[in-house]
Chains A and B, each alone.
Chain A
Amino acid sequence: MKLLQAMMVALIAAVFCTALVAYQRTADWGYQPEQSNVKAEFAWSRLSYTSNMESRGYGGFGFGRGATWARDYPKADRQFLIALNRLTRVQGRPTEQVVNLDSDDIFNYPWVYAVQVQTWSFTDEEAKRLREYLLKGGFLMVDDFHGTADWENFMNGMRQVFPDRPVEDLENKDEIFHVLYDMDDRFQVPGEQYIRTGRTYEKDGYVAKWRAIRDDHGRIIVAICHNMHLGDAWEWADDPEYPEQFASMAFRVGLNYIVYGMTH
Chain B
Amino acid sequence: MFEFFFRYPIPVFTKGRFILLGTWPGWVLLLLIVVAASLLGWLIRSRLPEAAPRMRTWRAVVVWMLQSLFVTLVLLLLWQPAITVAELNSQQNMIAVLVDDSRSMAIADSGSDRKTAREAAAVKALNDGILAGLQRRFQTRVYRLDGGLSRIAKIEEVQPAGAATHINDGLKQLVADTADLPLGAIVLLSDGAENRGGIDLDTISALRNRRLPVHTIGFGREHADHDVEMDDVSVAPRAMADSRMKATVNFHQHGYAGKTTVLAVRDGDKLLTSKEVTLGEDGTIQTETVFFDAGAASVKSIQFSLNPLGGEENNVNNATARLVSVSGDKRRILYVEGEPRWEYKFIRRAAEDDQEIQVVSMLRTTENKIYRQGISDPSELADGFPAKAEDLFRYDGIIIGSVEAGYFTPRQQELLREFVDQRGGGLLFLGGRFALADGGWGASSVTELLPTFLPNGKNTFHRDPATAQLTPAGAESAVTRLVDDPVKNIERWKKLPYMMDYQDAGTPKPGATVLAEMNTSRERLPLLVTQNYGRGRTAVMATSGTWRWQMSQALGDPTHDMFWQQLLRWVAADSPGRVVASMPVQRLMDDGHVRLTATVRDKEYVPAPDARVVAHIIGPESSSALVDLIPVPDSAGTFQTEWTADKPGQYVAELTAGRGTDELGRDVLTFERTDAVAENFHTEQNRELLEKLSSQTGGRYWNTDELNRLPNEISYSEAGISVRDTKELWNMPIVFLLLLGLISGEWLLRRKWGVI
Query: Whole-angstrom distance from the CB of A174 to the nearest CB of chain B?
Result: 14
With a cutoff of 8 Å between Cβ atoms, the chain A residues found around residue B551 in the complex are 107-108, 110, 133, 136-138
Of residues 326 through 365 on chain B, the ones whose CB sits less than 8 Å from some CB of chain A are 338-342, 344-346, 348-349, 352, 363-365
Cα separation A156 to B233 with both chains bound (whole Å): 60
Please give, as numbers and ranges, the residues of chain B lying within 8 Å of A132 by CB-CB distance.
555
Q: Are B342 and A89 in contact (CB under 8 A)?
A: no
> Is there a chain A Cβ closer than 8 Å to B463's Cβ?
yes
Binds A, one of B63-71, B366-374, B640-648: B366-374
Task: Check A180 against B548 for contact (C-beta < 8 Å).
Answer: no
Query: Does B143 sit within 8 A of A, measured CB to CB?
Result: no
Q: Does B700 contact A (CB under 8 A)?
A: no
Chain A residues with CB under 8 Å of B464's CB are 39
* A90, B352: Cβ atoms closer than 8 Å: no
Tell me which residues from 547 to 579 in chain B have a Cβ below 8 Å from any Cβ of chain A: 547-548, 550-552, 555
Q: Please measure, in the bound complex, the distance between the C-alpha atom of A192 and the C-alpha atom of B348, giving whole angstroms.
A: 39
Tell whether B673 is near chain A: CB-to-CB under 8 Å.
Answer: no
Contact of B366 among A108, A137, A180, A258 (CB under 8 A): A180
Which chain B residues lie closer than 8 Å to A42 at the CB level? 340-341
In A137-184, the 8 Å CB interface with B consists of: 137-138, 179-180
Residue among B342, B348, B367 making CB contact with A110, cutoff 8 Å: B342
* Closest A residue, CB atoms, query B367: A89
Q: CB < 8 Å: which of B339, B364, B366 contacts A91? A: B339
State A40–B463 Cα separation when bound (angstroms): 7
Cα(A91)–Cα(B366), bound, Å = 11
Q: Does A264 contact B (CB under 8 A)?
A: yes
Residue in contact with B433 in the complex, picked from A91, A217, A263, CB distance below 8 Å: A91
Chain B residues within an 8 Å CB radius of A39? 463-464
Give the nearest-CB partner of A178 in chain B: B371
Interface string of A222-264 (1 = CB under 8 A from B): 0000000000000000000000000000000000001101111
CB distance from B140 to the nearest CB of A (A): 79
Are A180 and B463 touching (Cβ within 8 A)? no
Q: Given A39-B463, A89-B364, A262 and B341 touching (CB < 8 A)?
A: yes
Q: Mark A179-195, 1 if CB is under 8 A from B, else 0.
A: 11000000000000000
Q: Is the CB–CB distance between A41 and B341 below 8 Å?
A: yes
Q: How far is the CA of A104 from the CA of B500 in the complex (A)?
A: 15
Given A41-B341, A88-B365, A108-B548, do A259 and B555 touch, yes or no (CB 8 Å)? no
Q: A41-B339, A137-B345 are in contact. Are A180 and B552 (CB under 8 A)?
A: no
A87 at interface, CB cutoff 8 A: yes
| Contact between chains at B365 and A180 (CB < 8 Å) | yes
**Chain B proximity mask over A122-134: 1 for CB below 8 Å, otherwise 0:** 0000000000110
Contact with A along B463-487 (1 / 0, CB 8 A): 1100000000000000000000000
Question: What residue in chain B is nearest A39 (Cβ atoms)?
Answer: B463
B362 to chain A, nearest CB (A): 11
When C-beta atoms are compared, the residue in chain B nearest to A40 turns out to be B463
How many A-B pairs have beta carbons closer than 8 Å: the answer is 81
Q: How far is the CA of A104 from the CA of B349 in the complex (A)?
A: 22
The answer to whether A263 touches B550, judged by C-beta atoms less than 8 angstroms apart, is no
Which one of B342, B352, B550 contacts A262 once the chains associate, using CB atoms below 8 Å? B342
Binary per-residue interface labels of chain A (82-112) against chain B in the complex, 1 for a CB within 8 Å, 0 otherwise: 0000011111000000000000100110100
Given contacts A137-B345, A137-B346, A264-B345, contact A88 B340 (CB under 8 A): yes
Give how many A residues have a beta carbon under 8 Å from the other chain's beta carbons: 28
Closest chain-A Cβ to B221's Cβ sits at a distance in Å of 63
Residue among B349, B364, B544 with most chain A CB within 10 A? B349
B338 interface neighbour in A89, A258, A262, Cβ under 8 Å: A89
Tell me, in angstroms, the Cα distance from A250 to B341 when the chains sit together. 22
Report yes or no: A110 in contact with B547, Cβ–Cβ below 8 A. Answer: yes
Residue of A nearest to B544 (CB): A41
Q: How far is the CA of A135 from the CA of B550 in the complex (A)?
A: 10
Partner of B555, one of A41, A135, A258: A135
Q: What A residues does B364 contact at CB under 8 A?
A: 89
Chain B residue at minimal CB-CB distance from A91: B339
A192-221 interface bits toward B, Cβ cutoff 8 Å, 1 = contact, 0 = none? 000000000000000000000000010000
Residues of B within 8 A of A133 (CB): 551
Inter-subunit contact A179/B371 (CB<8 Å): yes
- Specify which chain B residues have a CB less than 8 angstroms from the CB of A258 in the assembled complex: 340
- Given A88-B340, A136-B550, are A263 and B371 also a contact pair (CB < 8 Å)? yes
Flag if B369 contacts A262 (CB, 8 Å).
no
A217–B367 Cα distance when bound, in Å, is 30
Best-buried of A89, A180, A217 by chain B (most CB within 10 Å): A89
Check A89 against B550 for contact (C-beta < 8 Å): no
Determine how close the nearest CB of chain A comes to the CB of B431; give it in whole angstroms. Answer: 12
B342 touches A259 (CB 8 A): no
A89 lies within 8 A of B339 (CB): yes
A263→B340 contact, CB < 8 A: yes
Residue of B nearest to A106 (CB): B551
* A162 CB to nearest B CB, Å: 13
User: Does A259 lie within 8 Å of B345, measured CB to CB?
Assistant: no
B residues in contact with A91, CB < 8 Å: 339, 341, 433
- Taking CB atoms, residues of chain B closer than 8 Å to A108 are 500, 548, 551-552
CA distance A89 to B371 in the complex (A): 12
Interface centre among A41, A90, A180, A262 (most CB of B within 10 A): A41
**A258 nearest in chain B by CB position:** B340
Bound Cα distance A262, B555 (Å): 19
**Nearest A residue to B552 by beta-carbon distance?**
A107
- CB distance B363 to A263 under 8 Å? yes
B373 partner residues in chain A, CB cutoff 8 A: 263
Minimum CB–CB distance from B350 to chain A (whole Å) comes to 10
- Closest Cβ neighbor of B434 among chain A residues: A89
Taking a contact as CB atoms under 8 Å apart, the answer to whether A217 and B352 are in contact is: yes
A180 adjacent to B555 (CB under 8 Å): no
List residues 39-54 of chain A with CB under 8 A from any CB of chain B.
39-42
B341 proximity list for chain A (CB < 8 A): 41-42, 90-91, 262
- The answer to whether A137 touches B340 (Cβ under 8 A) is no
A36 to chain B, nearest CB (A): 13
Note all chain A residues with C-beta closer than 8 A to B345. 110, 137, 261-264
Find chain B residues with CB under 8 A from A104 CB: 552
A259 close to B547 (CB less than 8 A): no
Identify the closest chain B residue to A180 (Cβ). B365
- The residue in chain A whose Cβ has the minimal distance to the Cβ of B338 is A89
Report Cα–Cα, A263/B373, bound state, in Å. 9
Beta-carbon nearest neighbor of A107 in chain B:
B551
Contact partners of A87 in chain B: CB under 8 A: 366
Residue interface mask B110-128, A partner, CB < 8 A = 1: 0000000000000000000
Q: Check if A89 sits within 8 Å of B548, measured CB to CB.
A: no
In the assembled complex, the CB of A42 is this many whole angstroms from the nearest CB of chain B, namely 8
Cα of A44 to Cα of B456 in the assembled complex, Å = 34
Q: Give the distance in Å from the alpha carbon of A107 to the alpha carbon of B498 in the complex.
A: 13
The residue on A at minimum CB distance from B551 is A107
How near does chain A come to B124, taking the closest CB pair, in angstroms? Answer: 75
A180 pairs with B339, CB closer than 8 A: no
Please, how many angstroms separate the alpha-carbon atoms of A91 and B341 in the complex?
A: 8
The distance in angstroms between the C-alpha atoms of A136 and B363, with both chains bound, is 22
A262 neighbours in B (Cβ, 8 Å): 340-342, 344-345
**Whose C-beta in chain A lies nearest to the C-beta of B555?**
A132
Q: Which residue of A lies closest to B545 (CB)?
A: A41
A90 to B551, CA, bound (A): 20
Most buried by A among B352, B366, B367, B550: B366
* C-alpha gap A258/B463 in the complex (Å): 21
Contacts A89-B365, A136-B550 given; does A263 touch B346 at CB 8 Å: no
Give 6 closest A-B pairs by Cβ, nearest first: A39-B463, A89-B339, A262-B340, A107-B551, A132-B555, A90-B340
* A-B contact list, 18 entries, CB within 8 Å: A40-B463, A41-B544, A87-B366, A89-B365, A89-B367, A90-B339, A104-B552, A108-B548, A108-B551, A110-B342, A110-B547, A135-B555, A136-B550, A137-B550, A137-B551, A138-B551, A262-B340, A263-B371
Listed in ascending order, the chain A residues whose CB lies under 8 Å from chain B are 39-42, 87-91, 104, 107-108, 110, 132-133, 135-138, 179-180, 217, 258-259, 261-264
Known: A107-B551, A110-B342. 4 other contacts (CB 8 A): A41-B463, A88-B340, A90-B340, A107-B552
